[in-house]
Structure 1
Amino acid sequence: MTNAFLRAVAHLFRIPVRVLIRSNPRMNSVWWNAQYRLGFWRYLDGMSDGEMPLSLIETWAPRPAILDLGCGTSVNLPLAPGRYRHYHGVDLSSRAIEAARALGRPDTSFEVADIRTFDTAERYDAILLREVIYYLTEDESAALLRRLPAMLTPRGRIVVQIYDVTRAEEFVRVIRTCGLSVTEEVPARLGDGPAVAFFVLTRPDDAERVDGRARDGSVGWDPAEPTGGPGRAADPAARVRPGPAAPTTAVP
């Protein structure tokens, strides 16, 4: 079976999963653990679309601290040493988190938690929601997105990945109307699959930041970050490109 077919089948689970979320969160955890135990999501481990969000993040935050909500096993996110400062993955499935920890990658941590209620005192340069929000209800997705800016550093951004934007139109609408600013929207395609989109979100008052500077001229840069430096201008002509081995391609 092709990856496109498996992804299509996976998206059929959206309706029952959303029903379980509303009725019984504990059962929802059991449901996801059973799927990972049976290998239902194993095909995702071989996908290389994880290069695209990392390339996006690097345009505003070299060596970022990353929070990945709904991370799954995180196998398909190419966390090469030196490319990030720290990575924290959160998922409802203890089976998925067990597999993620077994990778033994440096400067990583993992946590079993419900992303709808997850909170932390840590601050991150990037928060990833990779093919996650459509497993929640529309109201839950909007509420989650509105909570996330409190977990960002001054330069931080939220990256939301939507697979098959045509079939997830209601969640694209949630992204655009949740009250956050869409600073970038990058269309892409995974091989012969449907249209994918990556949305970069920030606080509404950050919408006019240019090259790390706010409207008042202050620098939106984390001084604890050794790479780069305060006010270092990003190349405005830089475009997001996948790595050599990644089948994900930006659509012109």
Structure 2
Amino acid sequence: MRHDIRDVTIIGAGPAGLFAQFYAGMRGATSQILDALSEPGGQLAALYPEKFIFDVAGFPKVLAKDLVKALVAQQGQFNAPVHCNQRVIALREEDGHFVLVTDTDEFPTRAVVLAAGIGAFSPRRLPQACAEPWYGKGIDDRVGSLSVYEGKHVVIIGGGDSAFDWAHQLRGVAASVALVHRSDRFRAHAATVSEVQAAVALGTTSLHTFHELADVIAEDGRIVALELNAIIGMARSTDMMPRIDEVLAPVQRDLFAIG
């Protein structure tokens, strides 16, 4: 199907793309958004709708899903279309304009704005084969609802923003929170790291650095513990020598936020 030509076509319906479409409307330009996902919002909607965002101007903190809702309402003032489930596979020039080609449609446009972030994505999975059978059955790589973790013993594997944000946010929801990371260097905001380290000092969160997943221990079809490897030395920067060191138990839910 071939659509009407637009002044601007924005690839990506995350926060940047939604605001770009709003701004196009403010300038009187016709626009459209193409996105590979099934709904607007990008990672905020797809991966962590229940996560608080702390670094958006004007908000001390805001739930990701609420930020998306506000952006969609702002963008929607100009009735410009957002085409979801449209993965762009080609771009060509034609009679003085561009044509963006997806799996099913063609979208003529006079200009293209790339607001795709990391592009079409899926959460990274852990390399350990022991984790694979448990995705969706006690292991999560995204958070849909915090109620899933209420009163549960939760282990979070990762050392970036998502891992630390969830460790901080789930502390008041889960029965216990343990954070596991391969090193003691973290890729999260310093303020969030400090919050989690304060919780560790108080004993409300446990932090296991220089550890990685070794095995998933299950009973009667549910996860009851995780076996960890301690990374105790390295012959080269890429040659770790692990040994089985620790068992985390009890465990009822695992959240992998490995970036």
> Is the radius of gyration larger for structure 1 or structure 2?
2
**Structure 1 or 2: larger strand share?**
2
User: TM-score under structure 2 normalisation?
Assistant: 0.25
Q: Which has the higher helix share?
A: 1
- TM-score between the two structures when normalised by the length of structure 1: 0.25
